[in-house]
Chains A and B, each alone.
Chain A
Amino acid sequence: MIEIKNLYKYYGSLMAVNNLNLSIEKGEIFGFIGPNGAGKSTTIKILSTLLNPSAGLCKINGINVVDDPYSVRRILGYMPDLFGLYEELKVCEYLDFFAACHKIPYRDRAAIINDILELTDLTIKKDSPVGGLSRGMKQRLCLAKTLIHDPLVLVLDEPASGLDPRGRVEMRMLLNELRKMGKTIFVSSHILTELADFCTSVGIIEGGRLVVSGRIEDVVKSQGVSRHIKIKVLDNLELCENILKSMPEISNIESAVLEKLFTFEMRADDQALADLLRHMITSGVPVVSFYDKGGNLEDIFMKVTKGQVS
């Protein structure tokens, strides 16, 4: 769905994007991670037809963003990190205007707007002026505007920045909902733990270069980063601890006796995790829950980046 080949972008002598190659399949949620000044926003703006690349190929659904930006804009929904709103308009008028811009017929608009408002949980604010919305609601309204023409691809630049914890959770739920609807989502964020929760694949960019990319499991495996595991048992804590300590690939074991909880890091694939669970159960440890928090994206990020800017 999204294909980037040998992409370069220069601002004068400054190389903002350096030979970026990326391929994202339909229906994926791609997390684009990088420190400030890494080239994330530049790449996103090139994808969104807002910036002309210095060299390279960038295609969305097979359409070259340089050759036919207007066709790309019809299938793309872009939510910028800093966005302006027409604050004097009502929420429904704001959406109606952008629906009209996308040539959605007048008779269909009301139904589409109602659906979008419901999806973004803004129905209650339908007749409120945009200027009176909270930051989180404005963020959701911008996302609603992005969805108004039912785009195939969503490009979201820091969608959760500036949101309170509740707003972040709601935004994450909304993105998961959109993923279920089959949208391909390209999202950049600094909040790595949240990306790990809903992204199917990630790319880490630093100094304009893509340092690592791929499905999260593959990246974790390739980088040799430990998986964070949490086990809750009913009793027999001592036996459980002994089993964990006996395994060389397990490290950083922490136990909470009162909660009967063990957390540890393990360098292992899915098969090894299944073997560990089976071993515990056959050894007589009454396991209540066994939770794989996955590879910590922060660990990967810290491992592959050196704090360079482009």
Chain B
Amino acid sequence: MPETFRKIYDALSPALMFEFVYRRNHAALVSYSISVLAVCACLLFGQWPASEEAAGRHYGSIFFGMILIYMILVVTVISTAHASLSIAGEKEKKTLTLLRLSGLTPAEIIFSKAAVSLCFIVFLLLPTLPLALVCPFLGGISFSGVSQGLSILAVMTVFFVSGGLLISILFKKNYTCISFAAAFLIFIHFGFFVLDDLINYRLETYNYSRVETRYFSIFSPVEMWGKFFSSIREPFSYHRGSYRRDYFLDLSCGESAAIYSAAAAVMFFSSVKIFERYLKWRED
């Protein structure tokens, strides 16, 4: 690694230097990126309109949907898992004691861990990014649609990294953290639906009118992404069978993203505060 890079990292934070320069897993990331790029290129080739007539169909939105689902899966699973193992890994390896006495501030450690997780995700998504930007040329989706999708994805990345970091600070062992991260993901995606079902089951209106009222599920990423997909493709139907859904609070996907960014900020600063207290006195 050239000296200039080391100096830049050094000036930013030794923790960043440590994570980016010294911990070498660059080769694995590069080979991963190349393989993802190859798979996406094959998908794109498969979706590419064969004739001018076929080009009239909305291949761009279909292809962007496919890429976005892949990106969502990567962001949801890997960012939470990566962040949830960051501090817990230091605890488990007993290196946190050395970091505590090293002169690094708790905020510096947290910021560097968050930066590493975010950069890791960006690196994983990097091969798909140019392909996503090609989609508007295939028709069916505009650049603003693509940028909206990617912005929401960025917000969700920050949200899941913050959640993962909070989990990592609260627990000591890697396996506990990864279990809680899985529970966190399951709850955040499906727990609100279960809550709504429980409430609706207890309400008599549901039994007579067959109308479901959604109270909490609007906060689920599943609901948010559903709305986003419906906005870029044919209108998404909220009617299913004989049931009808009413929304207690009807949020657009932009508004949901704003709520997620606020939640991410709260989780991140809570993590810093908890970690400061932890590092000051608690023995790991």
Chain A interface (Cβ < 8 Å from any Cβ of B): 45, 48-52, 69, 73-74, 76, 78, 80, 82-86, 88-89, 93, 97-98, 100-103, 106, 145, 149
Contacts and interface: CB of A to CB of B under 8 A. Distances in A.
Task: Please name the 9 residue pairs, one residue from A and one from B, whose CB atoms are nearest each other, closest first.
Answer: A100-B14, A84-B94, A101-B102, A84-B95, A84-B93, A52-B281, A102-B103, A101-B103, A101-B14
B101 A76 contact: yes
Kindly name the residue among B14, B15, B24, B93 whose own CB sees the greatest number of chain A CB atoms within 10 A. Answer: B14
A283 to B, nearest CB: 59
Interface residues of B, number: 25
Contact of B7 (A45, A51, A78, A106): A106
Nearest to A100: B14
Interface in B4-28: 6-7, 10, 14-15, 17-18, 22-24
Chief secondary structure at chain A's binding surface: loop
Given A88-B24, A101-B14, A78 B103 contact: no
Interface of B: 6-7, 10, 14-15, 17-18, 22-24, 90, 93-95, 97-104, 280-281, 283
Contacts of A49: 101
Contacts of A52: 280-281
Nearest to B280: A69
Chief secondary structure at chain B's binding surface: helix
Contacts of B102: 98, 101-102
Nearest to A103: B103
Contacts of A88: 22-24
A49 B100 CA distance: 9
13 contacts: A49-B101, A50-B100, A50-B283, A52-B281, A73-B101, A86-B93, A88-B24, A97-B17, A98-B102, A100-B14, A101-B15, A103-B103, A145-B98
A85 B95 CA distance: 6
A98 B90 CA distance: 15
A294 B108 CA distance: 50
Contacts of A98: 98, 102
Contact of B97 (A69, A83, A101, A149): A83
Contacts of B94: 80, 82-84
Contacts of B98: 83-84, 98, 145
B103 A73 contact: yes
Kindly name the residue among B94, B101, B280 whose own CB sees the greatest number of chain A CB atoms within 10 A. Answer: B101
A101 B98 CA distance: 11
A69 B17 CA distance: 25
A85 B7 CA distance: 24
Contacts of A80: 94, 97
A41 B23 CA distance: 32
Given A100-B10, A106-B10, A78 B95 contact: no
B91 to A, nearest CB: 9
A59 B18 CA distance: 32
B115 to A, nearest CB: 16
B71 to A, nearest CB: 29
Nearest to B7: A106
A149 B283 contact: no
A303 B100 CA distance: 39
Contacts of B15: 101
A217 B101 CA distance: 35
Nearest to A49: B101
Given A93-B22, A106-B6, A106-B7, 5 more contacts: A73-B103, A83-B97, A100-B14, A101-B14, A101-B99
Nearest to B284: A50
A48 B283 CA distance: 11
Contact of A97 (B14, B90, B93, B97): B14
Contacts of A82: 94
B92 to A, nearest CB: 8
A295 B99 CA distance: 40
Nearest to B104: A101
B50 to A, nearest CB: 49
A86 B103 contact: no
A182 B262 CA distance: 53
A74 B95 contact: no
A145 B98 CA distance: 9
Contacts of A48: 101
A74 B97 contact: no
Contacts of B18: 86, 97, 100
A147 to B, nearest CB: 13
A98 B95 CA distance: 12
B22 A89 contact: yes
A93 B23 CA distance: 10
Contacts of B104: 101
A74 B17 contact: no
Given A84-B95, A93-B22, A106-B7, A51 B281 contact: yes
A109 to B, nearest CB: 9
Contacts of A106: 6-7, 10
Contacts of A78: 101
A53 to B, nearest CB: 10
Given A82-B94, A84-B95, A97 B281 contact: no
